[in-house]
């Protein structure tokens, strides 16, 4: 059996959006204080520090991934030009951006972890989780 660890960090951003073709009040422009949780995992601790990845690296990377979304009207962003800025699509956009940021991080430990999921909440009682799926 191999050891395995997961690290999670959370952050928030504020943004407005309007859900196209929704046929309800959320089709009108409205805003949220979105909460975001990300999880990375891996099997190899740093031999000197015995950590998977510095929490600071993960928090800073998430903050960087959220920067273009914070205080934006999401419908006007290029990434949401053709797709709705739903919680599902926001989670996927953050995942893709964060994966690139971690892969190019100066912290070499960042490339040794796998991004497991991104969870986006519009409020505490509901959330959307994105993770790549490689199966049936």
**Does 33 score more than 90 pLDDT?**
yes
| pLDDT tens by residue, 45-68 | 999 999 999 999 999 999 999 999
Q: Which residue has the higher pLDDT, 135 or 7?
A: 7
Report the number of distinct structural domains present in the chain.
1
Domain that holds residue 71: 5-130
State the sign of the Cα–Cα–Cα–Cα dihedral 69, 85, 75, 121. negative
Q: pTM of the prediction?
A: 0.95
Domain-embedded: residue 103: yes
Residue 136 lies in a domain: no
Q: How far apart are CA 31 and CA 130, in angstroms?
A: 21
- CATH code of residue 91: 3.30.479.10
Instruction: Tell me the CA distances in angstroms from 7 to 27, 84, 90, 96, one per residue in order.
Output: 36, 29, 21, 18
| Residue 136 scores a pLDDT above 70 | no
Tell me whether strands 72-73 and 5-17 are parallel, antiparallel or unpaired.
Answer: parallel
| DSSP annotation of 33 | E
């Amino acid at each position: 059996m191999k050891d395995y660890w997961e690290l999670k960090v959370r952050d928030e951003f504020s943004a407005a959006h309007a859900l196209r073709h929704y046929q309800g009040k959320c089709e009108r422009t409205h805003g949220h204080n979105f909460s975001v949780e990300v999880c990375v995992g891996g099997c190899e601790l740093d031999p000197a520090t015995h950590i998977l990845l510095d929490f600071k690296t993960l928090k800073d990377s998430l903050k960087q991934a959220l920067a273009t979304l914070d205080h934006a009207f999401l419908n006007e962003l290029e990434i949401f030009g053709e797709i709705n800025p739903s919680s599902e699509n926001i989670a996927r956009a953050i995942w893709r951006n964060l994966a690139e940021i971690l892969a190019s991080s100066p912290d070499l430990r960042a490339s040794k972890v796998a991004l497991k999921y991104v969870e986006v909440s519009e409020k505490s009682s509901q959330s959307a989780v994105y993770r790549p799926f490689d199966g049936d």
